[in-house]
């Protein structure tokens, strides 16, 4: 599992179709993986690697930590596959491992500043948010659109970094990864009511932070 394999795609490419045929196919793949079929587990890795890396990266905004977490998630999933009983979707089980591993590795406090001095050319901070911009699409944009894409990603990085971990993970799972409230509740271990509250408060906080950021420009 190399860094290239864990590069995040554009947000639209992260949607996971939830059709019955996919679920049936996935059940067969999971069962084969539980029997020690490495190829079958490799298919699960390919299916979910972007989600796992994306969540870890959005929570930490650190390439090295995100890659370490992603690898840790899949190693843990492989070793504990026999504990997956099929009472929920495999994806839900993997989401929970991802959230737990990510929160365990979070280094508080995470805070990115809008100070232009921290966004110097070639800095790690400057490059990191661009992990979520598809390079092929980006290269086809005109200069103005490229600048807009960079600004959006950098702004999102700053805003998310200022939320507390519980709200941040809820916002990431709902607004960026598109999980349902029930999936988020299962992944985080929080009641649905708590999940809804975290998302609502997170949205409100993001709006307030965005307004404050705009005023400082």
* pLDDT tier, 110 (very low <50, low <70, confident <90, very high otherwise): low
Q: Is there a contact between 60 and 102 (Cβ–Cβ < 8 Å)?
A: yes
Whether pLDDT at 73 is above 80: yes
Return the pLDDT at 15: 38
Residue 46 CB-density burial (10 A; 0-12 exposed, 13-18 middle, 19+ buried): exposed
Flag whether pLDDT at 4 surpasses 60.
no
Give the number of C-alpha atoms closer than 13 A to the C-alpha of residue 66, restricted to the C-beta side.
24
pLDDT band at 171; cut points 50, 70, 90: very high
pLDDT in the model for residue 10: 36
Identify the pLDDT of residue 66: 86
- Least confident residue range of 8-17, 28-37, 50-59, 118-127: 8-17
HSE toward the beta carbon, residue 138, CA cutoff 13 A: 16
- HEC profile for 181-211? HHHHHHHHCCCHHHHHHHHHHHHHHHHHHHH
pLDDT for 54: 86
- Give the pLDDT score at 148: 75
Q: What domains lie within the chain, and their CATH numbers?
A: 15-105 (1.10.1740.10), 116-216 (1.10.10.10)
Question: Of all residues in the chain, what percent carry a pLDDT higher than 70?
Answer: 73
Q: What is the DSSP letter of 109?
A: P
- Yes or no: say if 198 and 170 are a contact pair by the CB < 8 Å rule: yes
Hey, what are 165's tokens? 């971990």
Q: Is the pLDDT of residue 43 over 50?
A: yes
């Amino acid at each position: 599992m190399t860094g290239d394999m864990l590069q995040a795609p554009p947000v639209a490419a992260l949607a996971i179709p939830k059709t019955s045929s996919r679920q049936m196919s996935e059940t067969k793949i999971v069962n084969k993986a539980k029997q020690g079929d490495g190829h079958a587990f490799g298919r699960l890795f390919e299916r979910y690697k972007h989600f796992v890396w994306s969540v870890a990266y959005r929570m930490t905004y650190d390439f090295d930590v995100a890659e370490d977490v992603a690898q840790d998630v899949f190693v843990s999933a492989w070793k504990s596959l026999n504990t997956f009983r099929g009472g929920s979707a495999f994806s839900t089980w993997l989401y929970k491992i991802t959230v737990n591993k990510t929160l365990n590795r979070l280094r508080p406090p995470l805070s990115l500043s809008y100070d232009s001095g921290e966004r110097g050319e070639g800095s790690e901070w400057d490059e990191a948010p661009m992990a979520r911009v598809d390079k092929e699409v980006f290269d086809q944009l005109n200069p103005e659109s490229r600048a807009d894409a960079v600004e959006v990603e950098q702004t999102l990085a700053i805003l998310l970094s200022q939320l507390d971990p519980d709200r941040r993970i809820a916002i990431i799972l709902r607004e960026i990864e598109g999980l349902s409230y029930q999936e988020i509740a299962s992944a985080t271990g929080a009641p649905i009511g708590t999940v809804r509250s975290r998302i609502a408060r997170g949205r409100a906080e993001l709006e307030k932070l965005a307004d404050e950021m705009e005023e400082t420009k």
